[in-house]
Amino acid sequence: MKFLFENFEMIFDDDFLLVEDSEEPLEFLFDDEPIESILYGKNPSGPTLANLFWPVYQYVRKIIQAYREGSIPQVLEKVSEFEASGYLLSMKMCFDLAAVIERIVPNYPLPVIKFDLSALGPSLENMWYLALRLRERVLQEKVGTSLYRWYEHRQQYQSAREVLRRLIEIFREDRNPPMEATMLNNSAFEYLLEGRWKEATPIFEQAAELFKKTGILFEHANSRANYWICRFESEDLQDMEEIQNELESLRKVLNKKGLWQTRKPLILLAKIEQRRGNIRGAVKLVEQAIESAKGSNTQYPELDRRYLEDLKRKMDSRMK
The pLDDT tens digits for 102-118 are 999 999 999 999 999 99
CA distance 91 to 159: 24
Whether 242 is in a domain gets the answer no
Whether 190 is in a domain gets the answer no
Average pLDDT, the chain: 86
pLDDT at 318: 74
Whether 78 is in a domain gets the answer yes
Instruction: Kindly tell me the sign of the dihedral angle through the C-alpha atoms of 143, 210, 235, 290.
Output: negative
pLDDT at 230: 98
Identify the bridge partners of residue 245 per DSSP, sorted by sequence position.
Answer: none
The predicted model gives 161-189 an average pLDDT of 98
- Given 91, 126, 161, the domain boundary residue is 126
Of residues 83 and 55, the one with the higher pLDDT is 83
Q: Which structural domain range is residue 82 located in?
A: 1-109+118-126
Whether 151 is in a domain gets the answer no
Whether 39 is in a domain gets the answer yes
Whether 270 is in a domain gets the answer yes
- Given 72, 99, 126, the domain boundary residue is 126
- Given 126, 158, 192, the domain boundary residue is 126
Whether 43 is in a domain gets the answer yes
Q: How many domains does the chain have?
A: 2
φ/ψ of residue 175, rounded to 5: 55, 55
Burial label for 155, CB within 10 Å (0-12, 13-18, 19+), is: exposed
CA distance 140 to 132: 7
Whether 157 is in a domain gets the answer no
The answer to whether 211 touches 253, Cβ cutoff 8 Å, is no
Q: Which pTM was predicted? A: 0.83
pLDDT at 2: 37
CA distance 107 to 49: 39
